[in-house]
């Protein structure tokens, strides 16, 4: 294997540092999102509302697909990601509701 040009290595390092920063931002944004959804879960449990809200979820998926398209991101990927997040939120809401019933 030949030695990689120093300029290529520097560019690769720069790009990877950007990716690392973006990943950190994504994790922090998800943490903030889950703080909000935990509050929603507490409110739902307090008022005996169901953990899932299919109409809201469908609306969010449609909205995220449009955002993905305008951002030149695969809408199917964005939908899969949101479905994964929604499933986790519902799981949290169910756990909160189970705790509120005790």
Whether residue 90 has pLDDT greater than 60: yes
Task: Write down the pTM of the prediction.
Answer: 0.86
What phi and psi values does residue 49 have, to the nearest 5 degrees?
-90, 155
Question: For residue 89, what pLDDT is reported?
Answer: 97
Per-residue pLDDT tens over the stretch 11-70: 999 999 999 999 999 999 999 999 999 999 999 999 999 999 999 999 999 999 999 999
Please report the pLDDT score of residue 101 as a whole number: 56
- Confidence band (pLDDT; 50, 70, 90) for 88? very high
Contacts of 62 (CB under 8 A, 6+ apart): none
């Amino acid at each position: 294997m030949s030695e990689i040009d120093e300029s290529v290595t520097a560019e690769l390092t720069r790009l990877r540092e950007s990716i690392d920063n973006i990943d950190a931002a994504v994790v922090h944004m998800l943490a903030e999102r889950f703080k909000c959804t935990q509050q929603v879960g507490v409110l739902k449990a307090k008022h005996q509302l169901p953990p899932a809200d299919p109409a809201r979820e469908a609306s969010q998926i449609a909205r995220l697909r449009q955002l993905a398209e305008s951002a030149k991101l695969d809408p199917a990927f964005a939908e899969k990601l949101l479905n994964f997040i929604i499933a986790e939120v519902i799981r949290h809401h169910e756990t909160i509701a189970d705790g509120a019933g005790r």
